[in-house]
Structure 1
Amino acid sequence: AVSKNMHLGHLTSFLMSKWLQEAFGVNLYIEIPDEEKFLARRDITIEEIDRQAEDVILNIAALGFDPEKTFIFKDREYVKNVYTLACKIAKKVNFSNVKAVFGFNEQTNIGLMFYPAMQMVPCFFEEKRCLIPAGIDQDPYWRIQRDIAESMGGFKTAAIHSQFLPPLSGVEGKMSASRPENAIYLNDDAKTVRSKIMKYAFSGGQPTIEEHRKKGGNPAVDVSYQWLKIFFEPNDARLKQIHDNYRSGKMLTGELKQILSDKLNLFLENHRAEKEKAVKKVEKLKYSGKLAKKMWETTF
C-alpha cells in the first residue's frame, strides 16, 4: 500500500518476491493501490497520494527486480485496462461477504467496498496458478478470490504469508508507519537509527550489568536479537554465537544493540544508494520493459 514513509516491515514480502523471481525466473506483478489509501483516509489528498506512490515505487525499484519480467502499476493509472475484469469479480462477491470479512458498516464509503475487486485483479493476469507473498493481514482478499476463482475460469491463488517484523516496542504486534518510535523508516539517517535502537528497542536483558552477567539475557523477547534473526544476520553460526553470548550474559544489551545498529545502517545506506540509481529503472518497470509493455497492450 501507499505509505508516507516506508519502513523495514514493508520490505519483507518484496524481498521474498525478489527471491522467488530469481529462483524460478517468473513474472512478477506489483500493484500499487493508490486509490485504497485515498478512500481509507479522510485527511489525505489525491496529490499527496501521488507523491507518496512515486516514492514507494522508487523504494521498490531499488530492490533490484528483473525489469523485463516485472510490471509495477498504479491502480488509478492502469484501471482502464482492468476495469472490465474488476467488474466481473465484483459481480461475484456479495456485500454480505465483504461486510463479514472486512468489517464494512454504514460509514464505509462505496469506493472501499469496490476496492477488494481491484486487489484481486492480478490473480487473473495469467492462465497459471498465482503465488502471492504477503503479510498475514492480506489473507482476507485471497480467501474471497479462492471462493470465486473457479466460477470465473481461473485458478485459486496461493499465498506465502510472512510474520510481521516486530515493532521496536516488543516482539508482539506489527510495525506501524504511524508510530515513528516503533519503526525504522527507510529514510531514517544513521544517527536516528542508532538513537531509536538504543532508546526504544525492547531488551531481554537484566536491569543491571552485574545481574545480566550472572543471569544472562532472553533473546526470545529481545527485539534487537529478533531483528538480527529475521533480517540482518544471514550467517547461522554467527547468529548462534550472538544468541549464546547474550543468553549467558557474556554479551550486554548495549553490545547487542550496537551490532544491530551497525548492520541496519549499512543496509539502509546501500538501499538509499540503490534508490538513487532506481530513478532510471522505473520507466522499464512501469512502461517499457518486456512484461510492462505487454501489459499496457492488453485489456482484461
Structure 2
Amino acid sequence: MNMKLDPWGSSNIDDYSKLFDEFGIQRFDELLPRIEQPSAYMRRKIIFGHRDYDMISRAMKHNDPFAVMSGFMPSGKVHLGGKMVMDQIVWHQQMGGEAFVGIADREAYSVRGFSWDKCKQIGIEEYILSLIALGFEPEGHIYFQSQSKNVKDLAFELGVKANFSELSAIYGFNGQTNIAHMVSALSQSADILQPELEEFGGPKPTIVPAGADQDPHMRLTRGLANKMNMFLIEKRMDKNNTPFVSVRSKTAPADALEEVSEALPWDTKLFEGHVDIFGVDDLTKLKEITMEVEMNNGGYGFLPPASTYHRFMSGLQGGKMSSSVPDSLIALTDDPDDAARKVKKAKTGGRMTLKEQKELGGQPDECSVYELLVFHLSDDDGELAQLHSECLDGSRMCGSCKGLAAERMAEFLRDHQEKRELARERLEEYGL
C-alpha cells in the first residue's frame, strides 16, 4: 500500500480504510456510543478516525481538565475545509476544553517563503477573524508561533530527541530540504504539547482535530512526547506468569525511582533502574503518580496527544478542492452571491436526464451539493435523511437541492462576514 500523507502537499485519499491498517488510526464509530453529546461531524461520520480520543471522552464525561489544540498555516484564504477544523475547536471549547490555536507563521515562512508581515496580515484577516466569528471564546489562547517563547523553547528541546532519519521517514525530507522547514515541523510538535506545560496546569489530555493528511505531525509529536518522559511504563509477566507493571528509568535522577516506589499504594520491589509493581488495578493512577514525580524532578510528564480525523470535502466541480480552480471551493470571505452561483453550477449526483432521474433516482453520496448540506448547511439530521431518501427514489430533482443549498450558503456567508467585522473590534480581548 505505502500510502503517502503530505501535510504540505495535496494528499488525496481514495480509500480511508487503508489508514486504519497502514497508520494505526482507530475507527471513530466504535467510540461514538461512549460520547454523551456527539457533534454533527461525529454523528454524520464525517469524523471517521482517531488516536486515543477515549481520553477526551472520559475527561468530558467526568468534567476533568483537557485541552483542544490546532493550528493554521497563514497561506491564503480560509475555505470550508478550514472551517471544519475551526468548528471542532469551538465545539471542544464549548464542551469544557481549554482551547489553543497557533498561527503557524514559522511554517509559512519556511515552506511558502512568506514575509513575517504577510504571515501576520493573513493570519489575522483570514484565520483569526473567522475563528472568532465562528464562536471561539477569549478564554482560549490564540498566538503566532514566532512570538511564542514557549513554542520556540520547547521546539529546541524537542530537537534533541529528533533526528534527520526520523523526520525523513515521517515526512519524506531529503538533502534538499531546508533546515527551517525541519524546525517548523518541530515547532508544530511544540504547539501540540504546549497545553501540557506547567504554565497551563501541567499534563492533561489534548485533542488535535485535523484532516488525515496532518497525521504525520501527530506521529512525530506522540513519539517525541514519549521520548521526553523520564519513565517508561511496561506491562510484564514474571516466571510464574503473574502479571506486573514495571516503571523503568530513561533519564530520571537516581532517587526518582525511589520516590515513585514510596508514592505507590501497591506492592513494589525497587531495583537499580526500575521498580516493579504488583496488583496494579488502576493504570491511570500509576501514570498520574509517575507524572507527578517526573514534574517534581524537572521533567514534563507529557501525555501523548489525541487526534481526530475528518473526511475531506470534494470540490464543487468534482475531484479535489483546488485554489487554482476557484469554482471548486468556497472561501469564508467570498461574496455571498458569487458563492451561491458556484453552488448552482456545482456537480451533482443526478442523472443525465429528468426521465432517468425519476426512474433510477439520484446518487446523493456522490453529490457535492448534498455534501455541502451534510457538512455545513443543515443542523437537522432528519432533514438530511429525507433529502437523501427523496434523491434516491427519484422524487427530488437536483435543481431544488441546488436552490436550497445556494440560498443557505449565501445566508451563512452574509451572517459570518458580519460577525467577522464585529470580531475585528474584539481583537484586544484575545490579546491581539
TM-score by length of 1: 0.88
Choose the corresponding residue for 2:141, options 71, 80, 83: 71
Question: Higher RCO, 1 or 2 (CA under 8 Å, sep at least 6)?
Answer: 1
- Indicate if the aligned counterparts of 2:341 and 2:406 stay in contact, CA closer than 8 A: no
Structure 1 residue aligned with 2:32: none
Q: Quick one: structure 1 residues 131 and 85, their matched pair in 2 at CA, closer, same or farther if it must change by over 3 Å?
A: same
Output aligned runs, 1:206-245, within 5 Å: 206-245=351-390
- Indicate if the aligned counterparts of 1:34 and 1:75 stay in contact, CA closer than 8 A: yes
Query: 1:158 aligned to 2:306?
Result: yes
Structure 2 residue aligned with 1:181: 327
Q: Distance in 2 between matches of 1:179 and 1:95?
A: 36
Query: 1:89 aligned to 2:158?
Result: yes
Deviation (angstroms), 1:178: 4.1
- Indicate if the aligned counterparts of 1:215 and 1:249 stay in contact, CA closer than 8 A: yes
Structure 2 residue aligned with 1:193: 339
Q: Distance in 1 between matches of 2:186 and 2:377?
A: 36
Structure 2 residue aligned with 1:61: 132
Two-structure CA RMSD over aligned residues (Å) = 1.7
Structure 2 residue aligned with 1:116: 185
Structure 2 residue runs without a partner (length 5+) = 1-72, 197-202, 229-300
- Indicate if the aligned counterparts of 2:110 and 2:184 stay in contact, CA closer than 8 A: no
Q: Distance in 2 between matches of 1:146 and 1:120?
A: 9
Query: 1:167 aligned to 2:315?
Result: yes
Deviation (angstroms), 1:284: 2.1
Q: Distance in 1 between matches of 2:182 and 2:427?
A: 31
Q: AA paired with 1:62?
A: A
- Indicate if the aligned counterparts of 2:337 and 2:410 stay in contact, CA closer than 8 A: no
- Indicate if the aligned counterparts of 1:124 and 1:154 stay in contact, CA closer than 8 A: no
Structure 2 residue aligned with 1:15: 87
More helix by share: 1
Q: AA paired with 1:260?
A: A
Q: Secondary structure at the match of 2:431?
A: helix
Percent identical residues: 32
Q: Distance in 2 between matches of 1:133 and 1:281?
A: 25
Q: Secondary structure at the match of 1:125?
A: helix
Structure 1 residue runs without a partner (length 5+) = 288-300
Q: Distance in 2 between matches of 1:280 and 1:246?
A: 44
Deviation per CA, 1:262-285, whole angstroms, max 9, x where unpaired? Answer: 111111111101101101222222
More strand by share: 2
Output aligned runs, 1:11-50, within 5 Å: 11-23=83-95, 25-42=96-113, 44-50=114-120
Q: Distance in 2 between matches of 1:82 and 1:241?
A: 48
Deviation (angstroms), 1:21: 1.2
Q: Secondary structure at the match of 1:149?
A: helix
Q: Quick one: structure 1 residues 133 and 286, their matched pair in 2 at CA, closer, same or farther if it must change by over 3 Å?
A: farther
Deviation (angstroms), 1:147: 1.1
Structure 1 residue aligned with 2:295: none
Deviation (angstroms), 1:2: 1.0
Choose the corresponding residue for 1:265, options 395, 410, 415: 410
Q: AA paired with 1:157?
A: P
- Indicate if the aligned counterparts of 2:80 and 2:329 stay in contact, CA closer than 8 A: yes
- Indicate if the aligned counterparts of 1:132 and 1:159 stay in contact, CA closer than 8 A: yes
Aligned pairs, number: 280
Deviation (angstroms), 1:28: 0.5
Structure 1 residue aligned with 2:210: 134
Q: AA paired with 1:46?
A: W
Deviation (angstroms), 1:26: 2.1
Structure 2 residue aligned with 1:297: none
Structure 1 residue aligned with 2:170: 101
Deviation (angstroms), 1:111: 0.5
Q: Secondary structure at the match of 1:87?
A: helix
